[in-house]
Every structure is written in structure tokens, then in C-alpha cells.
Structure 1
Amino acid sequence: MIQITNMAVLVLHGFNSCSRDVKVLSDYLRDRGIYTISPTLAGIKGTKQEWNTTTWRDWISNAEKEFKNLKEEFKKVAVIGFSMGGLVALYLTYNYGADLITMVNTPIYCGDIRKIMEKVKRCIKKRSYDPIKYYCNVINETPLWGALNLTRGLNECIPLVEKIKTPLLVIQGLKDEAVRWQSADYLFCRSASPWKKKIYYRNADHFIFEGEEKEDVCREIFHYLMQV
């Protein structure tokens, strides 16, 4: 791989997740000559004991360390956040000055109950119960402490949106049941950035980097990075 720019990209995964969920994007950018790292945030994808001994501050500590190191080594640093990782990206951009921020399926308004119920009904009709099992596992595996700290992160980061003047790309899947599509509208409209773009993907659900439109999503992000 040949490094084509003096830019580094920090890719951040979501809540109850790990860097594997953004691997498709990370690999896509690396293959095109952009230095990319995607750390696993502390406690997010660990045991319940780890969940119960970490906070929102612990979650962002890994990202802060990596971001500061990149700022020392590269002329430009972009930060990309998937789901809750978008909140961490927002925090880093405001506090440490990213050169570009991309937020993918990032929550302002959480949980589209209508979409969840529609999906459950379709699954029952098809007698396919894997999605239902997935929802049950998420509820069972996510301690209340983790949910409370996600709320803390939301409360801390939402007021920062209006203070962001960095070039901004907002991406949202319209079939996302974990994040309501109005979140993308909020991020785009409230941001003070003079250079911003919003893209909806009609057939994409929350795990957008696993779906049929993942190549298009990665391509759009890459092209946006190249314009900065």
C-alpha cells in the first residue's frame, strides 16, 4: 500500500460493538492509501463486569489517546464514527479539532419502535426468528449501567453539534431501527459547518457496513475525504 495523502483517519465503532463492525470501511480506506486505525473502546464489547466498571469517559479515553497521537504525526486527521462512535467523533472534533468528521447512523433520537415492530411481524410471518433472538440478546447483554452511560454521552454531545464548524458528512440508513432517521436531519441542520453533506440510504439498516449498500457508503466517505 502506498500512502497517498498526509491524512490519517480514526474510525470509531458503536455501542455494544467492536472494531470488527467498521472493518469493511477501515480496510476500504487502507486499500486506497489512507492511514486508518480503528481501536476497540474500553469495556464496550467485554464482560458484564467490564461494562459495570466503565463509564462514558472510559469509552472515549482510547479514542482521545489515538487521536492525539495522530495529530502529532499527520498534517490532517479525520474522524469517522459509526452509531455511538459518532458521538465520540463529535466530542473529539470539538475538543481537539478534527479536519473532517463523518457520522454514520449516529443517534440523536434512539430506537425506532415502529421499524422494530414491523421487522418482528415480518419475521413471524416468515417463521424466521433470528432477528427476534438478536433483539433479545441485545437486551440481555447490555447492562443498565451501559445504557445510562450512553444517555450521558448523548446529553454531553448533543449541545456540541451547533458548535461544529468542521467539514461534515452525515450518513443515515432509512431502515435503521436503532437510530431514527431524524437524527441525521438534526446533525445536518444544527451543525455550523459551512461545508456539509447528508446522504440517506434507502435500503440500509443500522449495520450499514454489512448491508448491500456498504460499497457505496465506503466510496462516498472516501470521496469526501479526498475533497478536504
Structure 2
Amino acid sequence: MKIMPGAEPISVDGSDVGVVLCHGYPSTPQSMRGWAEHLASAGYSVRVPLLPGMGTHWRDLNATGWQDWYGELALAYEQLAGRCRTVFACGLSMGGLLATKLAQEKPALAGLVLVNPIFAHTSPALKVLPVLRHVIPSLGGIAGDIKKPGVVELAYDRNPLQSMYSQTRLWRIVVEDLPQLRLPVLLFTSREDHVIPPISWQTFLKRAGSTDVTQVMLENSYHVATMDNDAELIFTESEQFIRRLTPEL
């Protein structure tokens, strides 16, 4: 199926420091474009893959699962690792979950930047999701939680339940292995987030084995903070984080 205009993957070759960025669910690289462009302008090599099933029609997403999404992110990482001496991973929302999985699987990663990542949720609907996914294909959308007026996230207006269920299975896998996470982490969390509750980032901080973890609270953005009022803060702080960990490059 044809990709939505603006949802295309992003690829920029720069220095031998690479950054792979992962968008969220059920979104597209459009939500990461400003961040990607900032890092590219700083000279880094950048990849933002379009995750399978996204950027077309929500029914396509229901035919995919977390293994498909992770596989695409891992491929983008391998492309950067083949040309760069150092690679960082960044992710928004479910993209943060996938980026964390990447960090668990690829110990050569130099650092991890997370923006409102999903590791846990308290929604009562999750209790019936294993059954409900067999009854109805989707529910109302969860995208577009942005405080800044006039900014629109390019994402599905439906939440496909088969793929949502697959995502919840990945939560458990990643959280279980968080104590083995050792690389430096920069964690951005919005004070007001209508999609993911604080228990998500609290779970990460409680279980992550990393000793170098910096949390930055975003005071003027909702969930899709990479497109919101605090976007520039995310961009500049992540660039400084990368520079701190690559002083010799």
C-alpha cells in the first residue's frame, strides 16, 4: 500500500557517529523529523526507519507484531554500525521501548535517549485486550497528544488491537531484562502525558541497571514531545549527551 506523504523513512550520512531514531505507535518518522534534522545538521549520520505496518492504513499494522518493528530498527542500526565507529539509539513512546530492546541486544551501542517511553500501563482495557483483539479489530486512536497549537502528528486515528497486544508482550520482555541494561541513558518525561502514565518511566528507573541515567522533566509538552513546545530542549540536550560520550571523535 502507498505510504502517506511525509511518512517516509529518513536517512542522512554524516560523520562516523551515528544515531538511529525510532518513532512511536501508531506513528511515522514525521514525528522524529525535527530531531533527525537537528542531529544531521550537527554532523551526525542519522537513520529513522518507517516501522512495518505504519504510514499506510491501520489494517496493515494489525498484520504485524513487535518482531517486525524491532527487525526494521535493528536493520537501521546495522546500516549505521557498518559505516560508523559509534552509534546511539533514540526513541519516542513505543520507539523508546524498541530502542531499549536494541540496547539490550546490541551492547556496542554508546548511549540511549528515551522520550516518554512505554514500559508499563494501568489502563483497565489491557486486562480484556487478549480476548477483545479477537472480537473487534481496532479502537479509537491514541495519537496526536500535543500541547502546541496547530501541530499535527501524522499517525493512524485507530488503535489496531492485534498489534497493540503484541506491543504489550514486548513490554514484559524488555522490563524483565532491564537490570542488565548498562549503557548511559538520557530520559525525557513530560509532566503532563495523556497517553502513558508515570508508572512507565518509574518502572524503567526502578529496574534499569544503568548507573549513568539522567532524567529531564518536560514542563510544557504532552506525549509527542518531539513535536511539542519542549522539542528544542530535547534536540539540544540529546546532542550534548552524544557529545559528552564521544569527546574524542
Structure 1 length normalisation: TM-score? 0.82
Write out aligned runs for 1:16-27 (5 A): 16-27=26-37
1:145 and 1:15 mapped to 2: Cα distance? 13
Please state if 1:157 is matched with 2:198.
no
Measured in 2, the distance between the counterparts of 1:38 and 1:62 equals 10
For residue 165 of structure 2, the aligned residue among 133, 148, 154 is: 148
Q: 1:225 & 1:30 partners in 2: Cα distance?
A: 13
1:143 CA displacement: 1.8
- Report the AA paired with residue 89 of structure 1: A
One-letter code of the match for 1:149?
S
Deviation at 1:111, TM superposition (A): 6.5
Matching residue of 1:43: 53
Q: 1:195 is matched by which residue type in structure 2?
A: D
> Which residue is equivalent to 2:118?
107
SS at match of 1:188: helix
Structure 2 unaligned segments of length 5 or more: list them: 1-11, 125-149
3-state DSSP of counterpart to 2:192: coil
Q: Partner residue of 1:192?
A: 209
| Pairing of 1:29-108 with structure 2 (within 5 A) | 29-97=39-107, 98-108=109-119
Report 1:8-23 matches (<5 A).
8-23=18-33
Separation in 2, partners of 1:44, 1:2: 24
Q: Distance in 2 between matches of 1:2 and 1:166?
A: 24
Name the counterpart of 1:120.
none
Normalising by the residue count of structure 2, what TM-score does the alignment of the two structures yield? 0.76
Q: What residue number does 1:123 align with?
A: none
- What amino acid is aligned across from residue 49 of structure 1 in structure 2? R
Q: Does 1:171 align with 2:165?
A: no
- Shift in Å at residue 112 of structure 1? 7.7
2-structure distance, mates of 1:176, 1:48: 23
What is the total number of aligned residue pairs between the two structures?
A: 204
Following the alignment from structure 1 to structure 2, what is the Cα–Cα distance between the partners of residues 198 and 7? 23
Q: For residues 221 and 96 of structure 2, what CA distance do their matches in structure 1 show?
A: 17
Q: 2: distance between equivalents of 1:44 and 1:196?
A: 31
What is the RMSD of the two structures over their aligned residues, measured on CA atoms? 2.3
In structure 2, relative to structure 1, the CA distance for the partners of 1:2 and 1:38 (3 Å cut) is closer
Per residue, is there more helix in 1 or in 2? 1
